[in-house]
Amino acid sequence: MQTDSSFTFVLFGGTGDLSMRKILPALFEAHRAGGMLADSGKIVAVARHVADRGEYLQWVDEHVKPHVSKKGLDESAWASFLARIEFVKIDLGKPEDFTQLRDAIQDLPGIRVFYLATGPSLFVPICHALAAVGLNTNARIVLEKPLGYDLKSSNAINDAVGEIFAEEQIYRIDHYLGKEPVQNLLALRFGNALFEPLWRREWVESIQITIAEELGVEARGDFYDNTGALRDMVQNHLLQLLSIVAMEPPHSMDSDSVRDEKLRVLRALKPIEPLEIGKVAVRGQYHSGVIRGTAVPAYATEHGVKPDSSTETFVALKVEIENWRWAGVPFFLRTGKRLADRVAEIVVNFRPVPHSALGASALRAGANRLVIRLQPNETIRLYCLAKQPGEGMNLASVHLDLAFDQFFREGQMEAYQRLLLDVIHGRLALFVRRDEQEAAWRWVEPILNEWQASHKPPKPYAAGTWGPAAASAMLAQHGTCWLEEEN
């Protein structure tokens, strides 16, 4: 893809973990692919922990290279990428320092992209400082999650940022929306006559959406203990995936058409009443256990975590959508840390045939299912029944694969790479609009409030398992189970 779109990409938090692991590697992949980034495009890193450009480039060489794909990596490509990078030393707590940034970029061509890879407490001060030196025009600003602690604090941030940047300048990023299988889900649904007639309550029995992590809180104990899994993962990632799965066909793939349909799903979520929360919401916290042969500590003993913490590291929810297409279909959402495997997937369970002339085996579990795997390997797999070779009508579950790395010669685009290119080119469809975010907070807040008011501790689960038994029991009440339990 060729582009003449010049840009100046300003990266706040330029020495941070997110910049090193995701943002700069994604920009490098776009750079070495050729033609995706304008030759005149510049990357300006902002930080205070290194002295000058030379020291920053050494930092990048040491901390970014390990996260870059070695396939096709050569020193000339790396050297030309480093040539794009400039550095400005700024203390973000000193608004007067922003004059140095203005002087450094005011003569650079193209759109300005300000990526705030910082803590949310710095979002508003940075925006005010940018406006004070006139850098809020001809600009786009990217906000990382979490955007607030609840609806009130989220609105406060959005109000403050919205006074400085127009809504069409604000890109609230959710990297799960940039993953290839999520894009292909839209293509499968809206580009093929096979799936759309089946994508409704008459033919779908239940849907599961799981984001599971093997890792614990790592070095983020202070942050995580004041956040928890419901705020960190459900309010944004899981509800965004849910809205993509359940949305109506948009008029077109332009940004507002797609986001209007996602918003309708979020507004149609059935409110969970306080008395029902214990039946349809499970919260857990990991204790010590073993993952892949390695003993790991309990959450309460992690660095930065209060010993008596009641913060949840696991959430499972039964969700319903009150609209014509999905009424009565349960959506089961699940996320957690220190689980048995690292996996993110969407499982669409279709209803069995109403009558089987082929015997009871035609009603077996494992058939009539679509599994969209987001990580670690990105695939879409359709399960159905076929006759086993040999005598008799014996059926077996088989699958049809869309394995992107095998079917398409060109390499897959990593989520952050796609989203950063969309920011540079002004494409908003894969970013969260403010009204979407507000609708998600409104639905989540009663659960948060009830958990806080009840003072009940999270249910314990051993690290290396799939979470509390109550999460499995919740599905069993509906005659189903999580995918890994069936296998």
Give the residue numbers annotated as catalytic, written as ranges.
Answer: 237
CB 91 within 8 A of CB 48: yes
| CA 340, 341, 347, 352 torsion-angle sign | negative
Q: How far apart are CA 341 and CA 484, in angstroms?
A: 10
Quickly tell me which residue has 């015997």 as its tokens. 359
Is 455 marked as a binding-site residue? no
Is 401 marked as a binding-site residue? no
Is 152 marked as a binding-site residue? no
Q: How far apart are CA 62 and CA 45, in angstroms?
A: 16
User: Coil, helix or strand for 197?
Assistant: helix
Is 213 marked as a binding-site residue? yes
Give φ, ψ of 291 to 5 degrees: -125, 120
Is 92 marked as a binding-site residue? yes
Tell me the H-state helices in 50-162: 53-63, 75-84, 98-105, 123-132, 151-162
CB 109 within 8 A of CB 40: yes
Residue 272: name the closest of 212, 333, 213, 325 by CA. 333
Residue 144: name the closest of 123, 158, 165, 127 by CA. 123
Q: Tokens representing 159?
A: 């109000």
Give φ, ψ of 205 to 5 degrees: -85, -45
User: Coil, helix or strand for 159?
Assistant: helix
Is 175 marked as a binding-site residue? yes
Side-chain half-sphere CA neighbours of 247 within 13 A: 26
| Residues present in the chain in total | 487
Is 91 marked as a binding-site residue? yes
Rounded to the nearest angstrom, the gap between the alpha carbon of residue 378 and the centroid of all alpha carbons in its chain is: 14
Tell me the H-state helices in 192-231: 221-225, 228-229
Residues 6 or more apart whose CB falls under 8 angstroms from that of 94 comprise none
Residue 315: name the closest of 362, 366, 272, 264 by CA. 272
CB 143 within 8 A of CB 161: yes
Is 89 marked as a binding-site residue? no
Strand stretches in 279-354, DSSP E? 281-287, 289-291, 294-296, 314-319, 331-336, 343-350
Is 48 marked as a binding-site residue? yes
Q: How far apart are CA 63 and CA 409, in angstroms?
A: 30
Binding site as annotated, residues for substrate: 175, 179, 213, 232, 337
Binding site as annotated, residues: 48, 91-92, 145, 175, 179, 213, 232, 337
Binding site as annotated, residues for NADP(+): 48, 91-92, 145
